[in-house]
């Protein structure tokens, strides 16, 4: 089981990706678009165009994990606006909220979520 701890670096791709891509294709996006090393142990979050699914890429030191979550109904309500470099850094708490289809910009507790439009 993979735990999302506060010290893990989490990068969110702000643009949609082609979900036919697997580990190698998403690793290429990490290197070329996000300018990050997919072997760094950081967690990389991607979404499809319709905002109905997420993919998470993570290297654990031995190999890659590729997680996929597809909603059975609806769409992911929140996704940040496109940034100039195409990547946004999230905290573990923000990722947990995103995975449960929450909107960090509407959350009233904890740290100021409005920083991550």
pLDDT tens profile 36-63:
999 999 999 999 999 999 999 999 999 9
At 6 the pLDDT is 82
Q: Is residue 3 part of a domain?
A: no
What's the CA gap between 13 and 83, in Å, rounded?
9
What sign for the dihedral angle of Cα 3, 89, 34, 9? negative
- What pLDDT score does 74 carry? 86
Nearest to 115 by CA among 77, 80, 76: 80
pLDDT at 98 over 50: yes
Rg (CA), the chain: 14
Using CA atoms, how far residue 30 sits from 1, 47, 72, in Å, is 23, 13, 27
| Mean pLDDT calculated for residue range 66-95 | 83
Residue 4 falls inside a structural domain: no
Confidence band for 100, pLDDT divided at 50, 70 and 90? confident
* Pairwise pLDDT comparison (29 vs 113), residue with the higher score: 29
DSSP-based three-state secondary structure for 25: helix
Domain that holds residue 44: 10-107
> What's the number of domains the chain is made of?
1
Does 81 map to a domain?
yes
Give counts: helices (H), strands (E), the chain: 2, 5
Handedness of CA 32, 5, 108, 99 (dihedral sign): positive
In the chain, what percentage of residues exceed pLDDT 70? Answer: 83
């Amino acid at each position: 089981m993979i735990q999302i701890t506060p010290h893990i670096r989490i990068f969110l791709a702000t643009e949609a990706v082609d979900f036919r891509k697997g580990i190698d294709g998403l690793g290429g996006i990490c290197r070329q678009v996000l300018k990050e090393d997919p072997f760094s142990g950081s967690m990389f979050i991607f979404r499809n165009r319709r905002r109905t699914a997420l993919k998470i890429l993570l290297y654990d030191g031995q190999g890659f994990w590729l997680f996929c979550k597809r909603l059975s109904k609806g769409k992911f309500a929140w996704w940040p606006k496109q940034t100039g470099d195409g990547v946004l850094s999230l905290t573990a708490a923000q990722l947990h909220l995103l995975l449960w289809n929450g909107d960090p910009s509407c959350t009233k507790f904890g740290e100021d979520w409005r920083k991550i439009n």
